[in-house]
Amino acid sequence: MRMNDVDMIAELFKALGDNTRLRIVRLLAEAGELCVCDIERVLALPQARVSRHLAVLRSAGLVRARREGQWMHYALRKEDALSRSVIRVFVRGTDGAALFVKDSLRLKKHAPACCAPEDGD
């Protein structure tokens, strides 16, 4: 392996070395794609903090961003085999973990959030 590859792997694991970022990754693995406002509501964190964590995950190549109007939507990147494998192992290994179960229930309760189109309004 080239040194650059090792640096990339180190960045991947550094990005995953934070509880909030692990929660975000788990939510994205479950939902597929989420708006920042959905993540804010589920984690009960301010937009600036969520955005900072998403920037770290994006820099490490774990997530991709898509703008829709004023809203930013995030999803896990599927192009990188190592990231996919690490996330798959993480998700399987944390099935049933109390905090992730609570996050999942909050996601179902609060979705859709601020950026969802309103019916009939």
Q: Return the pLDDT at 71.
A: 86
Q: What is the mean pLDDT of residues 30-37?
A: 92
Structure tokens at 109: 């309760």
Average pLDDT over residues 93-120: 78
Structure tokens at 63: 């997530």
Q: Which contacts of 1-4 are long-range, i.e. CB under 8 A and separated by 24 or more positions?
A: none
- Give the model confidence (pLDDT) of 39-71 as tens digits: 999 999 999 999 999 999 999 989 999 998 888
Please state the pTM of the whole predicted model.
0.86
